[in-house]
């Protein structure tokens, strides 16, 4: 698939990073949207709506939880220094670290798929009843 970023003046390293970031954002978006829909369905609530601020907040909560799960579970041989212009945004820093790992860890996408399946298989309950991050990570009830 061709490089889709509109600014093609970057060097090869930057272009690769932008492409990996785009792929990772798409994959995380898919997992988190699926989790949000599953949670809503299990609770008997309507499907999320794009322009609803509460739905957007619920989606962002899934993104943060999934990024923290990835950060806790995915390890490369060395943790590369992540490039970010995010400043103090913790989710942006976590995403930048995942982009760096996706570029360097040989089995990154296999780990990502395993964790995605585990995250989506976690019971959809209210926040107070949801299993802890470590319980989900290690498959304990």
Total-model pTM:
0.74
pLDDT at 16: 86
Please list the pLDDT of the chain residue by residue as tens digits (141 residues): 455 556 566 688 888 888 999 999 999 999 999 999 999 999 999 989 888 999 999 999 999 999 999 999 987 644 545 554 546 788 999 999 999 999 998 899 999 999 999 999 986 544 434 444 544 445 544
**Separation of alpha carbons 95 and 80, rounded Å:** 13
pLDDT at 130: 46
**Separation of alpha carbons 99 and 133, rounded Å:** 21
pLDDT at 112: 96
pLDDT at 36: 94
Please report, for the chain, how many H helices and E strands are present, in that order: 5, 0
pLDDT at 75: 72
All residues at 6 or more sequence positions from 46 whose CB lies less than 8 Å from its CB, including other chains: 40
Where do the domains of the chain lie? 12-125
């Amino acid at each position: 698939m061709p490089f889709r970023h509109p600014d093609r003046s970057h060097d090869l390293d930057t272009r690769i990073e932008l492409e990996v970031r785009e792929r990772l954002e798409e994959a995380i978006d898919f997992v988190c949207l699926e989790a949000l829909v599953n949670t809503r369905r299990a609770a008997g609530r309507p499907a999320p709506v794009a322009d609803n601020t509460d739905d957007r907040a619920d989606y962002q909560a899934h993104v943060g939880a999934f990024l923290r799960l990835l950060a806790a579970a995915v390890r490369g041989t060395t943790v590369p220094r992540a490039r970010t212009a995010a400043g103090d945004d913790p989710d942006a820093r976590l995403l930048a670290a995942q982009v760096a790992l996706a570029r360097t860890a040989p089995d990154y996408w296999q780990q990502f798929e395993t964790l995605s399946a585990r995250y989506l298989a976690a019971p959809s309950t209210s926040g107070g009843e949801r299993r802890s991050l470590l319980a989900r990570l290690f498959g304990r009830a």
